[in-house]
A and B are shown apart, each in its own frame.
Chain A
Amino acid sequence: MIFLVILGFGLIVVVEVPSLIRRQYWRELVVFSFFIFVGLLLTVFLTLGVELPYIDVGLTKLITGLGEALGLKPG
């Protein structure tokens, strides 16, 4: 499974990077590789079954927290 993930990402890199290099888009290349790396990291985590936090839950906590801080009643 991990192998497939790596393969997929490798494919994307192979497909995207050459044109960037050819046009000397170094800045874009940096950004691209950063995001790709993050994506790869998260995907690997997911495939390894690491529990990542849920967005909605986090936002709910944040906003209710804010609401209480501001002394409003939470939605």
Chain B
Amino acid sequence: MIRFLLRKFGLAHLRKESPSTPEGKLLHSDLEENLALFREELGNSPDVIIRRFTLNLRNELKSAVLFIDGLIDQQVIYDSILYPLMIEAKKEKWAVKGHLIDFIEDNLLTVGGVDKDDRMPGLVAAVLAGDSVLLVDGCDQALAISTKGWEKRSITEPDTEQTIKGPREGFTENIRTNTAMLRRKIADPGLKFEQMKIGERTRTKVSIAYVKGIVNEKLVEEVRRRLKRINTDMVLDANYLSEFISDAPFSPFPTVAFTERPDVTAAKLLEGRVAIFVDGTPVVNTAPTLFIESFQNPDDYNFHFLFATMIRWIRYLAFFLGILLPAFFVALTTYHQELIPTPLLISMAAAMEGVPFPIVIEVVAMGAVFEILREAGVRLARPIGQTISIVGALVIGQATVAAGLVAAPTVIVIALTAIASFVVPTQQEIGIILRLGLTFLAGILGAYGILVGLLLTLIHLTSLRSFGVPYLSPVIPLSIEDQKDVIVRTPLWAMWTRPRSIGWPRPIRQGFGQSPTSPEETAGKDWSRPDDKKG
């Protein structure tokens, strides 16, 4: 359809055009010319440093180290490049055999990553990535020496996903740190990362993470395919990818999940999902995503299972309240007054005496006010934000009611809705959309309108898929054994299979029947995992 529109508006050619790729220039053997090449590629911006020096092996050679200031670790450059080349090299008379560059690489440089290249693009890319390039006069090859090192944010707890118990660490902007954190969680050789660079200009490092043997190979293939498809010039955040790879781009429901927590990522990988790390953002995409995941919080597994179950029910309740409460309120007070008990009805009528607007308008307006306050609170610096939202809410709530512009019940309903909508953070955006739509429908057709709205939503949800997995599973299609983590949160020793719809290649997660028992019963029990035995 999009293609159709594009053709209609004669924009089709835009899609053909793709960013131009620089062709590979070869190095010369003369140092100055090479440096000139680099200058024309990189321009002479102040942060491009060229350190000239003379390397004297058997005879003096003009050389230069080229790097970008701020991307490199000074210590490494001095200790492992300049010092050996300028000082160590003098000490004894070398018998240089073979190619000079190779000789230097083999005998002098005491750095981990060194690779040889004779074309500009690779070298420029290396320099931009924080390596430093060693050029020696007379050689038409150069060494890209890895001297990466820059300021990093330290590991802190993510503000978006706080837990009461459980680990306090969250991902950082550095992809290596993040992958390392994941490795620390999963010390299994099966954990694989696949690196690729996406974004013509940003050249962002993106790596797919999955646990071989648990994950469904087809899924990984699908993720690869979708990522390869992407042809954009910048990737600055995980969302830049997820919008490209999600199944239902127009659906308000997230078909790719986000998290900033290593423990959550690890858990999801071990269920058979795939994680997508993006360099430069602490947010990690995981797929496939189920609707139910929005209601599963890391703390569910850190607390006692009865409590966790209760909390989960509370979450379901809150989600539905957040979506339905205003609509129900409108429907009840403008269409189905007979449902309200008589005394309550009379007192509500008393409260609404002399309120000028229809209740729909009231509800929608108050909802809008609340959203404004919330947005203001989020964007502003935290202390100011809180004061603003609180004061604003209080003042507006109080004043409007006192002035008789809005009935007290409306304010109560909106407040309750607002609080409820915060309980399930990942579904908030949908919450807002659905709430508004349903409220309008309720205002026009009453409960029937609500029903129509809910039906459409339900149909949409049932038709959604995330990387081939039905979005509503394990509820629809129903799989009984997966209810262990949906309706209730059973004890961990009882969750002995992985989610049917995702981790099916290796369904068995742990030995069956490990419920703690008295020692003598436990005695001759075999706890090894069935599917390990078979291979």
Closest beta carbon of chain A to B4's beta carbon, Å: 6
Within 8 A of B (CB), among A18-52: 18-19, 22
- The CA-CA distance from A31 to B254 in the complex, in Å, is 38
| CB<8 Å pairs between A and B, sample of 5 | A18-B1, A18-B4, A19-B1, A19-B4, A22-B4
- The CA-CA distance from A27 to B1 in the complex, in Å, is 21
- The CA-CA distance from A22 to B4 in the complex, in Å, is 8
A interface, CB within 8 angstroms of B? 18-19, 22
**What residues of chain B lie closer than 8 Å to A18, measured between beta carbons?**
1, 4
B 34-48 to A, binary, CB cutoff 8 A, 1 in contact else 0: 000000000000000
Q: With CB as the reference atom, state the residue of chain B lying closest to A21.
A: B4
B 493-505 to A, binary, CB cutoff 8 A, 1 in contact else 0: 0000000000000
Q: With CB as the reference atom, state the residue of chain A lying closest to B7.
A: A22
- The CA-CA distance from A38 to B4 in the complex, in Å, is 29
**What residues of chain A lie closer than 8 Å to B4, measured between beta carbons?**
18-19, 22
Closest beta carbon of chain B to A20's beta carbon, Å: 12
Closest beta carbon of chain B to A59's beta carbon, Å: 29
**What residues of chain A lie closer than 8 Å to B1, measured between beta carbons?**
18-19
Closest beta carbon of chain A to B12's beta carbon, Å: 13
Closest beta carbon of chain A to B2's beta carbon, Å: 12
- The CA-CA distance from A46 to B1 in the complex, in Å, is 34
Closest beta carbon of chain B to A18's beta carbon, Å: 6
Main SS of chain A's interface residues?
helix
- A-B pairs, 5 with minimum CB distance: A22-B4, A18-B4, A19-B1, A19-B4, A18-B1
B interface, CB within 8 angstroms of A? 1, 4
Q: With CB as the reference atom, state the residue of chain A lying closest to B8.
A: A18
- The CA-CA distance from A19 to B2 in the complex, in Å, is 11
**What residues of chain B lie closer than 8 Å to A22, measured between beta carbons?**
4
- The CA-CA distance from A22 to B8 in the complex, in Å, is 12
- The CA-CA distance from A18 to B7 in the complex, in Å, is 12
**What residues of chain B lie closer than 8 Å to A19, measured between beta carbons?**
1, 4
- The CA-CA distance from A18 to B4 in the complex, in Å, is 8
- The CA-CA distance from A18 to B1 in the complex, in Å, is 9
- The CA-CA distance from A19 to B3 in the complex, in Å, is 11
- The CA-CA distance from A9 to B1 in the complex, in Å, is 20
- The CA-CA distance from A13 to B371 in the complex, in Å, is 38
Closest beta carbon of chain B to A22's beta carbon, Å: 6
Closest beta carbon of chain B to A23's beta carbon, Å: 11
- The CA-CA distance from A22 to B2 in the complex, in Å, is 12
- The CA-CA distance from A48 to B1 in the complex, in Å, is 37
- The CA-CA distance from A52 to B27 in the complex, in Å, is 87
- The CA-CA distance from A19 to B1 in the complex, in Å, is 7
Q: With CB as the reference atom, state the residue of chain B lying closest to A18.
A: B4
- The CA-CA distance from A19 to B4 in the complex, in Å, is 9
Closest beta carbon of chain B to A42's beta carbon, Å: 24
Closest beta carbon of chain A to B87's beta carbon, Å: 72
Q: With CB as the reference atom, state the residue of chain A lying closest to B5.
A: A18
Closest beta carbon of chain A to B378's beta carbon, Å: 38
- The CA-CA distance from A34 to B104 in the complex, in Å, is 82
Q: With CB as the reference atom, state the residue of chain A lying closest to B3.
A: A22
Q: With CB as the reference atom, state the residue of chain B lying closest to A19.
A: B1
Closest beta carbon of chain B to A25's beta carbon, Å: 14
Closest beta carbon of chain A to B509's beta carbon, Å: 45
- The CA-CA distance from A22 to B5 in the complex, in Å, is 11
- The CA-CA distance from A16 to B1 in the complex, in Å, is 11
Closest beta carbon of chain B to A12's beta carbon, Å: 16
- The CA-CA distance from A42 to B58 in the complex, in Å, is 101
Closest beta carbon of chain B to A62's beta carbon, Å: 35
Q: With CB as the reference atom, state the residue of chain B lying closest to A22.
A: B4
- The CA-CA distance from A75 to B1 in the complex, in Å, is 54
- The CA-CA distance from A22 to B1 in the complex, in Å, is 9
Closest beta carbon of chain B to A61's beta carbon, Å: 34
- The CA-CA distance from A36 to B361 in the complex, in Å, is 38
Closest beta carbon of chain A to B454's beta carbon, Å: 24
Closest beta carbon of chain B to A64's beta carbon, Å: 37
- The CA-CA distance from A65 to B1 in the complex, in Å, is 53
Closest beta carbon of chain B to A14's beta carbon, Å: 12
Closest beta carbon of chain B to A28's beta carbon, Å: 17
- The CA-CA distance from A18 to B3 in the complex, in Å, is 12
